[in-house]
Amino acid sequence: MAAVVTPFPSRPRPGKTFAASILPPGRKERYAAGKESRQRVARQQHGEWTISRNRRDPVELVVESSKGRISELIPIRYGRMMVSPFTFYRGAANLMAADLASTPVSGLDAQLCGDAHLLNFGGFDTPERRLVLDINDFDETLPGPWEWDLKRLATSFVLAARSNGFSSADQQEAALTCVRSYREHMLECAEMTVLEIWYASIQFSDTLAAIHRKAGRRRLERQIEKVKAKQVPEHEFPKLVQARGGRYVFKDAPPLIYHHPHIVASGEAIRRALVLYRESLSDARRVLLDRYKVLDFALKVVGVGSVGTLCAVALLMAAEDDPLFIQIKEAGPSVLETYVGRSTYPNHGQRVVVGQHLMQTASDIFLGWTHDQGKRHFYLRQLRDMKIKPLVELFKPVTLFDYAGLCGWTLARAHARSGDPAMIAGYMGKSEVFDKAMAAFGKTYADQTERDHGSFKNAIRQGRIEVQTET
């Protein structure tokens, strides 16, 4: 097995400057071609955001995105989106996709996350049991303009900074740091071979080294210690499961996890879907899955954007003390599809799985896809596997800047796996012209998100939208 390479520093290397002249001939030509792309779309143009005359009502787009969801869960989704402009932003990926479609692009593509806000990044354990930082949500993944992911990420840092009450200068610095890190690490990718990029990972030792505040480093260390001590999934077993009628079942805790009538009635259909899911795995993974027996299913409400879609969790057991939790998530068309074209995969669960393999350093060993008799598509993975979520609401400005740099680094590595890093790096260049334009977009689009959130809250007051808040 090839060694894991972690070539990226958390900060630019002292005395290290990028020079296109030292690139091998092929990469030098692609860098120059990327630079030439500025003649078609100047880097400063990425800072522009104006509302299109035919822009649709944002409330209508949010409501439209709820079609096909479980009706009684939609008010929970709206209740979560109502909390702040940032939570609204998290649940309105389709709205931003429509807006991004009219923005200038360089003409260079990569596999996109499609919903690259800062809370869709975090820590998890690889199959080799190494804790890494990576993107962790791919519901909207499709190939498309790499700038779209970066604009969504930069805007999310402005909105998170505003939610924390940070100054305008700190809001802009968070977005600028994110984009600068993306550009600088893409320049480093331009110097690397294809396999070096593919093997690269961001381990948590790198993450800790990038955090400047001692309190922030200690908080993350405690999170890591806590997660390792849980020994998932055994730790989750007594919290989620109880004995009933001589067998183990999930504990009901509605409306977030419970035996929804649809899940109960669809038990046999779900079991058949799991048989099809098994076929999406490699032979070795099938042998592993076959060690477990399916005991129970329950509906589980997760996130903001996914609320109301059919998200379930399955309990499998190999022995009394040997559980496995599998998350089953419905996968519909990507919000990007209208603007970049339909997926080449017939199953949207497969679209998600392939996109995840393309962008992530390492993916869950149980990652696969299936469909039900109604032809709804799903992807499956372990429910939890050493996951660490950023506690953004506790961040001080300097901690947010550090995290912004880490997310920019992560996104650059993910895009470089499928895109052409030399061409993308050539387009962005060595100066901060592109960084400042993207940060300006983040500020302006965050303003737009606040206006859209205001329209959403007005629709709630007028009774157009029903919400359910959670205690």
Burial (CB < 10 A; 0-12, 13-18, 19+), residue 181, is buried
Q: pLDDT band at 208, cuts 50/70/90?
A: low
Residue 110 above 70 pLDDT?
A: yes
pLDDT at 338: 96
Given this model, what pLDDT does residue 15 score? 40
130 three-class SS: coil
Does the pLDDT at position 75 exceed 50? Answer: yes
For range 320-336, the mean pLDDT: 93
- Per-residue pLDDT averaged across 404-417, rounded? 96
pLDDT tops 50 at residue 197:
yes
180 CB contacts (<8 Å, ≥6 apart)? 405, 408, 432, 435
Q: What is the mean pLDDT of residues 398-402?
A: 93
Provide Rg for the chain, Cα atoms.
22
**Please, what is the Cα angle at 343 between 136 and 369, to 5 degrees?**
55
Higher pLDDT: 332 or 218? It is 332
- The pLDDT of residue 401 is above 80: yes
Distance CA 159, CA 118 (A): 10
What's residue 6's pLDDT? 40
Residues 86-100, mean pLDDT to the nearest whole number? 97
Mean pLDDT of 354-374: 94
Number of neighbours of residue 2 by Cβ within 10 angstroms = 7
Kindly state the average pLDDT of the residues 285-290. Answer: 97
The string of pLDDT tens digits covering residues 11-37 is 344 345 777 777 888 899 999 999 999
More confident residue, 69 or 356: 356
Amino acid at 74: I
**pLDDT confidence of 5, banded at 50, 70, 90?**
very low
Which candidate, 367, 387, 354, 322, places its Cα nearest to that of 141?
A: 354
Looking at the predicted structure, is the pLDDT value of residue 242 above 60?
A: yes
Question: Does pTM top 0.85 for this prediction?
Answer: yes
When pLDDT is cut at 50, 70 and 90, the band that residue 4 belongs to is very low
Over the chain, what is the mean pLDDT? 89
User: How far apart, in whole angstroms, are the C-alpha atoms of residue 262 and residue 243?
Assistant: 22
Longest Cα separation, the chain: 72
Residue 385 has pLDDT above 70, yes or no: no
Q: Which of 337, 341, 325 is nearest to 248 (CA)?
A: 325
